[in-house]
Amino acid sequence: MNETDKGQTLSERIPGEFRYWEQRNSRYATWLRRGIRWVFGEDPCLPDAAVVKYAHSYYDADPVAEAFVEDVYLKHGQKKGRAMLDLALRAGVDAVPNAPSSMKTLFAEVEQIPDWVDWEQVELGARVFRRFGTHMYSFAGAITLEGYLENSVAKPLAFTGAYNGESAQRRFLETAGFWVDVSEPGNLLHGRKGVETCMRVRVMHVFVRKRLLRHPEWDLEGWGVPISQGDALLTLMGGSLIPGFGLRTLGYRTTRDEILAMMHFWRYVGHLLGVQPRWYPSTIQEALGLMYTSQIKSVHRSGRDGEELARSYLESYAPGEDDVGWDALVKHWEYRLQLGYVRLFLPPNTHKRYNLPGAGIWRLHPLLQFPFVFAWETARRNSATLDELHDKWVRRSTQAWVQRRLGKRSPEYKSVTQFTR
């Protein structure tokens, strides 16, 4: 199924490293399928037609935003493109002198609400997502390391240096700032901050994709296009399905209906980001099937790049030379907490492959929170007043968490200007 004919268009191709059909009868695939059936009561095998659409999506990008980037960013530079985008977001696209038609098309698409959007579900999904608070940040950082095993995920980060060395913490904080912006009540309505942030991130992704496609080491046949719809689709599941079930380990009592609402919320966030896949899961079973397929198709060939990205992420929590006194103590604490989350949520084989440091007694920390989180979740579920108080508290605490670490800086969502290799 992964062989491509020379006459095929890009949208009909399947990356060479998408090995689902070759590996679906392996011992690992059989074990994983049985495990999902036992835990969730769902058969995760998708129809072949859905798998093919998912495979093709590794060659799907964002043609609407790409046309704008081609007309402005690549012709006149990132600085001018950013200035035009800022003006359009602040005053509307009609306020931009000589705005190209590609820019007008892009903004028209963002302002057009898809027929499938259910605003009640969007707002419910956002509320459920922000309920996790900073637990979500630690969890998301840990599970993301699994994705670094794949070249299509690791190579864009390795080539740009976006998550290497000192930039790892800053980029992660910008991601956390993005989560805050899109999940605030009403922030996905036209003209609100969540939409503006999505547009900045969307253009940044396109700019990086365009430049990576010209990189001599980018393997289009093996990996698909950089920052593809296929990998982005998994990211949307990483904000909905996976924490919806995974954070039950910490005591959260997220229901299946709430997980579906989060999937709907992230589908709309994805739409604003230009992630508009040919197929999107509509049920828990289909979402589990997508994640199962992503595991079975994988080849885990990122090698040293994946290991360095994973280690850089963890090291970004450790105190640096400039951290002294209280700041150093806080950094030591957060570093050990994150060691615990990574040890708990990252598969043991991946942890060993990356040669990550052990967590020691800190591996118990996430689990020790269970009785307290579960008790509060139970009280919140049975009291509208407590539920509202929790929502207000968690909104303030997550914003403070991000701002305290960013300091005077604000998230910029700018593309790197030079590749590290």
Residue type, 240: S
Helices in 26-133 by DSSP H: which ranges? 27-40, 48-56, 63-71, 73-76, 78-91, 101-111, 119-131
Stronger pLDDT, 77 or 243, i.e. the higher one: 243
Indicate whether 302 pLDDT > 50: yes
Please report, for the chain, the start and end positions of each structural domain, with discontinuous segments joined by +: 62-112, 113-406
* Of 61, 48, 54, nearest in space to 14 by CA: 54
Residue in 220, 300, 282, 292 with CA at minimum distance from that of residue 58: 220
> Residue 57 carries which DSSP code?
G
Separation CA 385–CA 342 (nearest Å) = 34
Burial group, residue 54, by CB count within 10 angstroms (0-12, 13-18, 19+): buried
Q: In the prediction, which pLDDT does 266 show? A: 98
Question: Is pLDDT at 330 greater than 90 in this prediction?
Answer: no
CA distance linking residue 380 with residue 354, whole number of Å: 39
Q: What is the pLDDT of residue 322?
A: 74
Q: Are the CB atoms for 179 and 201 separated by under 8 Å? A: no
Nearest to 144 by CA among 275, 237, 254: 237
Q: For residue 242, how far is the Cα from the chain centroid?
A: 11
For residue 316, the model assigns a pLDDT of 87
* pLDDT tens digits along 233-285: 999 999 999 999 999 999 999 999 999 999 999 999 999 999 999 999 999 99
pLDDT tens by residue, 373-394: 999 999 999 999 999 999 999 9
Tokens matching residue 301:
């060939």
| Cα end-to-end span (Å), the chain | 33
Q: Compute the residue count for the chain.
A: 421
Per-residue pLDDT at 165: 57
Whether pLDDT at 308 is above 70: yes
Between residues 322 and 313, the one the model is more confident about: 313
- Is the pTM value of this prediction over 0.85? yes
pLDDT at site 164: 63
Give pLDDT tens digits for 161-174.
766 656 777 888 89
Over residues 361-375, the pLDDT tens digits come to 999 999 999 999 999
Tokens of 116: 């499938």
Nearest to 415 by CA among 239, 227, 179: 227
Band of pLDDT at residue 286, cut at 50, 70 and 90: very high
- For the chain, give the percent of residues with pLDDT over 70: 95
**C-alpha to C-alpha distance for 40 and 20, rounded to whole angstroms:** 22
